[in-house]
Amino acid sequence: MWTADQWKDYEVIDTSGGEKLERWGDYLLVRPDPQVIWNTPRRHPGWNRPNAHYHRSKKGGGEWEFFDLPEQWSISYRSLTFHLKPFSFKHTGLFPEQAVNWDWFSQKIREAGRPVKVLNLFAYTGGATLAAAAAGASVTHVDASKGMVGWAKENAAASGLSGAPIRWLVDDCVKFVERELRRGSRYDAIIMDPPSYGRGPKGEIWKIEDSIHPFIRLCSGLLSDRPLFFLVNSYTTGLAPAVLTYLIATELKPFHGHVESQEIGLPVTKSGLALPCGASGRWESA
């Protein structure tokens, strides 16, 4: 497992009974986690005195219960700063486990010794975008949500990256890639974090099991003659790391490189174990 173990402002303190106790900067949150199928004693006092608790509903969805949490606050990772706020379906605007991927591709960008063009698809609030830009890449950031792209711009400003070469685009990722292919655009690296399920602006249905392979194939056509890396993230339990390896290796076979896929996770302070948080497939040039 690739573990994001370099955080100072974030911590999974404990896990039990379908929930995790987390520290986000100065605040403690209790949120549900489907991977936590074990029940262990909840001895940390934070379980009883969190700043907010997201309660999952048996009918689907859920709601926040707030005790003492600001509407917005910030945490940092290395040189990056992220604004956080609780919003629907338990999220805060950041997936801390992705830091292990940020570190991996940031090193590759810094060591490339040449200009690197990165395409970040389903880019959310910009964690990967900011990490790539801070490492020296020029980045095209694409997400279908105007609100998320606006949030990502705020994170860029907070991180001192307002002047970085980042192109911010509110667009359907599939449609954008199709247009880029027609335009003859090329990128040295591609990052994608596709949802398990979604709908496009005209009602197009995205179901990851059906859509991910053709989309990887489509994106492979945007790679430059000297691609640096290709990263696919998945939070869908049915897509095991070996499946990601197979998909990426199949479509990037014409390029000389190597694929490795693993679960990604976060260290749990109380147990000393790692909480699985999805999977990532990484292709890198040989």
Q: Is the domain of 228 the same as that of 113?
A: yes
* Last residue in a domain, options 84, 113, 132: 84
Look at residue 137 and tell me if it is in a domain.
Answer: yes
Proportion of the chain above pLDDT 90, given as a percent = 88
| Residues 119, 79 share a domain | no
Mean pLDDT of the chain: 95
- Which tens digits make up the pLDDT trace of 98-123? 999 999 999 999 999 999 999 999 99
State residue 123's pLDDT score. 97
In a domain, 91, yes or no: no
CATH code of the domain containing 64: 2.60.40.1180
121-162 pLDDT per residue, tens: 999 999 999 999 999 999 999 999 999 999 999 999 999 999
Q: Are residues 204 and 113 in the same domain?
A: yes
Exposed/middle/buried for residue 267 (C-beta within 10 Å: 0-12, 13-18, 19+)? middle
pLDDT at residue 89, as a whole number: 83
Decide: pTM greater than 0.85.
Answer: yes
Structurally, the chain folds into a number of domains equal to 2
Residues 28, 82, 155, CA angle at the centre, nearest 5°? 155
Token digits of residue 47: 């379980």
Tell whether 179 and 244 lie within a shared domain.
Answer: yes
Same domain, 41 and 102: no
In a domain, 90, yes or no: no
Tell me: do 109 and 54 sit in the same domain.
Answer: no
DSSP state of 45: G
Say whether both 80 and 131 belong to one domain: no
Rounded-to-integer distance, Cα 229 and Cα 283, Å:
5
> Looking at residue 211, which CATH number applies to its domain?
3.40.50.150
Name the band, by pLDDT with cuts 50, 70 and 90, for residue 201.
low
**197 has a pLDDT exceeding 80:** no
Domain coverage including residue 31: 2-84
Which residue carries 């940031």 as its tokens?
106
C-alpha–C-alpha distance, residues 230 and 136, integer Å: 17
Three-state SS at 16: strand
